[in-house]
Structure 1
Amino acid sequence: MTDISSNRLGREPSAYLRQHADNPVHWQPWSKQALDAARELNRPILLSVGYAACHWCHVMAHESFENPEIAEVMNALFVNVKVDREERPDIDQIYMAALSAMGQQGGWPLTMFLRPDGKPFWGGTYFPPKARHNMPGFVDVLNAVNNLWQGNKEKINHNAEAVFNHLEAQLAAQSEARANEVTRFNEVADRIYAMFDPVRGGIDNAPKFPNAPFMDALWLSWLYNREVSHRDAFLLSLRTMLQGGIYDHLGGGLCRYSVDADWLVPHFEKMLYDNAQVIRHATYAYAETQDDLFCIRIEEVIDWLMLEMRLPDGSFASSLDADSEGEEGKFYIFTGSEIDAVLGDQAESFKSWYGVKPAGNFEGSNILNRLHAVGEPAMLPPDIEASRQKLLAYRSQRIRPGRDEKALTDWNALAIRALAEAGRSFQRQDWIEYAVTAYRSIGSSFQNGRMAHCRMDDVLLYPALSTDYAAMINAALSLFEATGDRTFIVDAVALKDALDAANRDASGNYRLSALDAEDVILHAYGDYDEAIPSATSQIIEAFTRLFLVTGDLHLYNQNERLVEQAMGRALVQQYGQIGILNAARFAAEPLSLVIAEESCEGELSLIAQHNPDPRRVDKFVPFEAGKAIELPTGGTAHADKPSAWLCKGQVCLAPVETPAALEILLRGHS
């Protein structure tokens, strides 16, 4: 019989799992052995899913999982399984969808009760140890589930089968293919705009998340349709986030979300993916507005990545914890008297600049912010900058929040792409070099046609998910644009072939987990957005971009079919799958720019670099008078002087020869 009489998390590479290695709970990692033990013992599985930077995960761990009396109940009644949602997002997605199917609000920690075959029959999120605030106590929940297990298996089986059937229909069933009609995107973009807060930006009401897929929709709507109101909502949201308390005004970096509607009070964890995506959004915003705020914040966030998130091999850690010394936000907040003691005569001007109040704005302390000055110039006066550096040095002596050092392939790929694109736009070769180094590090796991999903302490977790391959293809293509090195195209093609082999099913669709993964109860399509766009949307975007670079018509046709099948599913769950609608809009009318001049640092290339556009893929070719130049449409062109050709879908416009003409063309094209 499989032994579950002890806690087996101590040797797991995941930092989150190791945080629970000393719990008196007999935690098991997700494995065939744990499910086998549940069958042998005829016990339900208690599945707890979280992540290292999660504040409420820490709270529940301290209140319940570290409590010997509660652990005794858990060990007696259940096979207890811990999952790191970042290590296994495919498992997290299945059981989070199950909780939603039960009519409950999702979140972490996720607490689910499963039959021994892994099918869920009940669940929740955070439970206090004893009942309070209309929430049942955790021990009461454990006993109630056990009583149901012992006395009413019929009800449990009915619930489990009903939920599983719903999961199959929602996550794994193919809908009727639908034509890629751009009006669908336009309608949803309008509805998303209507949901945005006209004063502070972001989705109206609290809590507020950066919500990159929704932001992408607004920006694409501006680019394709010249919807000025959508552009303004995007810019307002981004400005307010970057001036709010959700942004770390001393050390840089964006927190995961704001608990209030004003972007003032964050949950203080910092995630790699949020900061990668805000770099890209700010790059577009700066090109559009020339507002120094965006340029300043890009540099600050990248400096933060290099200082606090970069691992020794050049890849990036996944997150910083919300807590330090057992308190959420303790590292980041200050009392007025603390600031007085550190800054002396300069304290009053600094406190006025950053909205510091005598009574505080967060539990008696202060979260630095510029919400009172969102529209004012962002450049700091010299005296404020000197004080900022002084307070940062003071803060650096505090005990830091923990860092989850696992390097996730998809999140790193988002950061690589952001660094490559920002580096290209701002002519920062150092940022591009950071991106190349991280790409080489993450790409080193790509062996024998398979890629790892994450690395922790030199332990690689295979197989990759479809998000990993898609994000790395996009990263490779952005590095090609930034460097002109065609080996990145070769890499992108190899990654695409590996994705096909590992995750593409007989219908031509892509499953989130590898098809040969045996430890999931179903193979879901990766259709649902979370804080990042869905796997399916990233695949569509990657394939569209790869076609523009290679001209591979087989890839073009394959992607068209994928878009139509994904649209059939996305139109059922539009808001949860806006990433697919965004990617499909791009696939319907992609732009490509071919620049032929003597140097990739020539005048035409610089204009393209200063005008980044998520709809566009740029390709540089060395200019030789009279030499044929291949265009993305499959045709060729000739020129007597350096020129640029902008192509929309299968149609290329007349070439332009001057920087001014190219600037007008790129800024005016919709």
Structure 2
Amino acid sequence: MAPAENLLQHETSPYLLQHASNPVHWRPWGEAALAEARALDRPILLSVGYAACHWCHVMAHESFEDAATAALMNRLFVNVKVDREERPDIDHLYMSALHALGEHGGWPMTMFLTPEGEPFWGGTYFPPEPRWGRPSFRQVLQGVAEAYQAQRDAVRQNADALRQALAAQSAARPGAEIEPATLDQVTAALLQATDPEQGGMRGAPKFPNAPIFRYLWQDGFRTGGRAGIEALHLLLRRMSLGGIHDHLGGGYARYATDAVWLVPHFEKMLYDNAQLLELLALAAADRPDPLYAACAAATVGWMLRDMAAPVGGGVAFAASEDADSEGEEGRFYVWTEAEIDALLGPDSAAFKQAYDVTPVGNWEGRTILRRVTPTGDAMAEAGLARSRDILLAARARRVRPGRDDKVLADWNGLVIAALCRAGAVFDRPEWIAHASAAFDAVMAAMAGPDGRVRHVWRLGRSTAAGLLDDQAAMARAALALFEAGGEARRLDQARHLVAAAQARFGDHDGSFFATADDATDVPLGAEARPRTAIDTATPSGNGMLAEVLARLFHLTGDPDFATRARRLVAAFGGLGNALASAPTLLAAADLLEDGALVVIAGDPVAGVTQALLRTALAAPDPALAVLRAGTVPLPPDHPAHGKTAPAGEAVAYLCRGGVCAPPVADPAALAALLRHRRGPT
């Protein structure tokens, strides 16, 4: 039996360590906690959150730090705390159960389980006293405990119903191959839901929804229409000018609480900024804009300055920064007019006019910086830049929000791929070098002997087994590095990660489960083993792996990759209307069937060869792979097989649908060719 004490002090997760001094007898997730619940015949109270979660902090202060509430929890339940970022598989399982109960998801998530780990009831945040039509947390505790003891049949009925719902959600959804007509229907539905004035999706709160807008962007190149492309441009401009963007330190907050991108929920997540960096690069490739270049540079600056995290002997990227500092949400980021005046002196008036600084503020009596004036001339913009530097230096003297410095393989994979794309578009080779170093650091510390990469690393320990998302995101990152640098070892690394995913996560129908077949601490058995192609704030593992398989096919010509990609897409082809929630999978289907390969032939160090490579890597269409001739042996039936350049020259071949167009030697001509799949419209 575990001791009557809080056991989180032995963990490495920053979120769990935030709760290590609570009077609650917390246990980390695992078989030991389940065994304790069985021995005591008590239900499990499962609390799931993450280090940067504002409402998690609120509930912790109100309830978990309260001695009377903790005593009630300790008497009635076995209490288990989970970091959703460390164990996204556990979070996904119980969040799915919460949705099956008809509840809106969110964190903190509070679920009640049988000693076998079966969910039977739950919710999210509960207040310490009854309010907003919700019972107090202590009322919930007493009611659930009484129901568990006195109404076992009802508890069993709920648990069985939820188990069946989870099994249904995890079942494969086979269907026909994704046809262009299906993509047209999804695109029309998604565009109808976008906000034509403020960008993003309609209403509030406003999330970036990066997987959706990346799909709409790519689909614009498929169809030749501009609606999806312009939707992304609008999103990026509104976000980048709004308060959700950190105009001083770079990076974007997780979402805006309003409909105009003014008031952020101030936490900054690595995964959001990775995806937004890639979108900024794609948008700049289509329509160069100083705003995109500045925001991309500032975002990378934030990553390198504030998010660098040690992994073994190298450096990768930390998970998140908190919304709160000194017990107050947003305190680190907001300003008063008096502070601005004191710091900027005679330059204050111009800055206040540009960034919406007023005596009364624009949020709770203070100001969230947002750009409200058009771009000025070079002298004016230089003056504003100097003012921003002064404010950033002053802000650095404030108490910083907490940082969750654990390294997550899947989120780092997203960053690495984004740095490769942005490095090519903005001609910043040092960003690609940072991406390469981060990839090597993650693999050196977190790759296992069977080729799988583990999920999390902190304080010299890897505390969670790898999930499908980790293998898929790191394989995608390896391919981005291969295309950016041409190193054959990167292609081999992608192949090995795909093989590991196939061996441990693959199903007979071509789809992949989220957890490995040798996972020992995921409850509810094989029938509820999670499997999904639905994107959340991050792309799904199945969607990313479909993209990897499609890209491998274009880069190698191996038909087995195409077959596996088609089977994976078809395994979810029966999702029906829910396909609109799987945009990464749909983009992968487009890449497979209508994507192109650009083969660059010529002396690798010659200037014109490098110019052609830069042009190809900076193309705006994501459904494009770039290959240096001779890097990979191509099968004889591949249209790019044997392609070379005349002696002393360099050329590019654009190959699509089994046919290569005539060679192009001029980078400008290649750029024009790559802007449109079907020719200019």
State if a TM-score over 0.5 links the two structures. yes
Partner of 2:258: 260
Shift in Å, 1:180: 1.9
Q: 1:154-205 CA deviation, whole Å, 9 max, x = no partner?
A: 11111111111011101x2122332221211221111111111111101111
Q: Distance in 2 between matches of 1:4 and 1:109?
A: 26
What's the counterpart of residue 75 of structure 1?
A: 74
Inter-CA distance 649–35: structure 2 relative to 1 (3 Å threshold): farther
2:570 matched residue in structure 1:
564
Q: CA deviation at 1:612?
A: 4.1
Partner-residue secondary structure (3-state), 2:370: coil
Measured in 2, the distance between the counterparts of 1:76 and 1:145 equals 13
Partner of residue 223 from structure 2, selected from 222, 225, 233: 225
- Aligned partner of residue 460 in structure 1, secondary structure: strand
C-alpha distance in 2, partners of 1:361/1:580? Answer: 40
CA shift in 2, pair 1:628/1:149, >3 Å: closer
Deviates more, 1:148-157 or 1:638-647: 638-647
Is residue 523 from structure 1 mapped to residue 524 from structure 2 by the alignment? no
Residue 663 in 1 paired to residue 663 in 2? Answer: no
Report if the CA contact (8 A) 1:607-1:663 is conserved. Answer: yes
State the shift of 1:229 in Å: 1.9
Moved more, 400-409 or 504-513: 504-513
Identity %: 44
TM-superposed CA distance for 1:633, in Å, is: 4.2
1:611 match: secondary structure: coil
Query: Would you say the 8 A contact 1:592–1:647 is kept in 2?
Result: yes
Query: Hey, what's the Cα distance between the residues in 1 that align with 2:101 and 2:375?
Result: 44
Aligned CA distance change for structure 1 residues 613 and 632 (closer, same or farther; 3 Å): farther
Q: How does 1:210-609 map to 2 (within 5 A)?
A: 210-312=208-310, 313-370=314-371, 372-373=372-373, 381-444=381-444, 445-449=446-450, 450-520=452-522, 521=524, 522-568=528-574, 570-571=575-576, 573-599=578-604, 601=607, 602=609, 603-609=611-617
1:469-504 per-residue CA deviation (whole Å, 9 max, x = no partner) reads 111111111111111111101111111111111211
Q: State how far apart, in whole Å, the 2-side matches of 1:406 and 1:46 are.
A: 25
Cα distance in 1 between the residues matched to 2:173 and 2:433 = 43
Amino acid of the structure 2 residue aligned with 1:211: N
The range that moved more, 516-525 or 129-138, is 516-525
Q: TM-score, normalised by structure 1?
A: 0.96
Q: Letter of the 1:606 partner, please give it.
A: R
Contact 2:218 2:621 in 1 (8 A): no
1:352 positional shift:
0.7
- Classify the secondary structure of the residue corresponding to 2:343: helix
- CA spacing shift, 1:668–1:578, aligned 2, 3 Å: closer
> Is residue 50–residue 83 contact of structure 1 (8 Å, CA) maintained in 2?
yes
Residue 62 of structure 1 is matched in structure 2 by 61
Which amino acid counterpart does residue 186 of structure 1 have in structure 2?
Answer: D
User: What does the per-residue CA deviation read over 1:595-615, in whole Å, with 9 as the maximum and x for residues that have no partner?
Assistant: 102136523223213324310
1:576 maps to a residue whose letter is S
In structure 2, relative to structure 1, the CA distance for the partners of 1:643 and 1:159 (3 Å cut) is same
**By how many angstroms is 1:39 displaced?**
1.1
Partners of 1:532 and 1:375 in 2: CA distance: 32
Which deviates further from its counterpart, 53-62 or 593-602?
593-602
CA contact (8 A) 2:244 2:255 kept: yes
The change in CA–CA distance for 1:530 and 1:485 in structure 2 (over 3 A counts) is same
Counterparts of 1:36-51 in structure 2 under 5 Å?
A: 36-51=35-50
Work out the CA distance in 2 between the residues paired with 1:455 and 1:634: 41
CA contact (8 A) 2:246 2:252 kept: yes
- Name the counterpart of 1:95: 94
Instruction: Report the CA distance between 1:393 and its aligned residue.
Output: 0.8
Query: Per-residue displacement from partner, 1:315-342 (whole Å, max 9, x unpaired)?
Result: 0000000000000000000011111111
Count of aligned residue pairs for this structure pair? 663
How far apart are the structure 1 equivalents of 2:437 and 2:317? 11
Structure 2 unaligned runs (5+)?
A: none
Residues 93-145 of structure 1: per-residue CA shift (max 9 Å, x gap):
11111111111111000111111111111111011111111121100111111
Answer whether contact 1:628 1:638 (CA < 8 A) is retained.
no
Return closer, same or farther for 1:390/1:542 CA change in 2, 3 Å cut-off: same
Q: Secondary structure at the match of 2:309?
A: coil
Match of 2:502, as an amino acid? Answer: D
Aligned equivalents of 1:36, 1:252: Cα separation in 2: 46
CA–CA separation in structure 2 for the residues paired with 1:374 and 1:247: 16
CA 368–582 in structure 1, closer or farther in 2 if over 3 Å, else same: same
User: What is the RMSD computed on CA atoms of the aligned residues?
Assistant: 1.9
Aligned residue type for 1:216:
R
Residue 205 (structure 1) aligned to one of 196, 203, 206: 203
| Structure 2 counterpart of 1:616, from 621, 624, 648 | 624
SS class of match (2:599): strand
Change in Cα spacing, 1:631 to 1:361, as seen in structure 2 (3 Å) is farther
More deviation, 603-612/537-546 = 603-612
CA distance in 1, matches of 2:613, 2:411: 29
Cα offset, 1:632, TM superposition: 4.7
- The answer to whether residue 154 in structure 2 is matched with residue 158 in structure 1 is no
Instruction: Give secondary structure in 1 for the equivalent of 2:111.
Output: strand
Provide structure 1 residue ranges, at least 5 long, that are not aligned to the other structure: none
Letter in structure 1 aligned against 2:59: M
CA-CA distance at 1:426 after TM superposition: 2.4
Q: TM-score, normalised by structure 2?
A: 0.94
